[in-house]
Amino acid sequence: MDVFSKRKRSEIMSRVRDKGNAATELRFAEILRFGRITGWRRRYPLIGKPDFVFPAGKISIFVDGCFWHGCPIHGQRPKANRAFWIEKFRQNRQRDRFVSKALRASGWKVVRIWQHELKNRDFALQRIKKALNH
């Protein structure tokens, strides 16, 4: 049970600012550098705020966190306030689909990489090289 009213909780949460998934993004940047892959940008102004963009090839890359995006392998649902979290994850996945569809309609290739896939550097490099070669 929340100690705040729904309205007050919403007000509190609206003040929380995203710090980005810095560690995950830095890991991905490290992988790109290791593979000597160049031409990428961060904070590129596109719908959905892709984590990495290759403007020349119109490729947008999202590194999706296993928790926030509901990874089917590693996604954990908190036990407290379960209904809230189920809905939150559903909305996140729905937003991901909308953003991917909008980018594709604008001529962008969309690549989504799970956070856990970054543990295998060679696999991550293979995915990105495959996207760049098409």
| Cβ-Cβ contacts under 8 Å for 29 (sequence gap 6 or more) | 42, 52
Q: Which pLDDT value is given to residue 21?
A: 62
Q: How far is CA 47 from CA 56, 95, 101, in A?
A: 17, 11, 11
Distance between CA 107 and CA 80 in Å, rounded? 41
- In which residue are the tokens 């049970």 written? 1
Tally the residues of the chain.
134
Give the CATH architecture of domain 38-133. 3-Layer(aba) Sandwich (3.40)
Which of 76-85, 104-113, 123-132 is the most confident on average? 104-113
Sheet with strand 109-114: strands edge to edge: 52-54, 59-64, 109-114
- Hey, how many other C-beta atoms are within 10 angstroms of the C-beta on 49? 15
Residue type at position 12: I
Structure tokens at 93: 């996945």
Q: pLDDT digit string (tens) for 8-66?
A: 888 888 777 666 567 888 899 999 999 999 999 998 999 999 999 999 999 999 998 87
Model confidence, pTM: 0.79
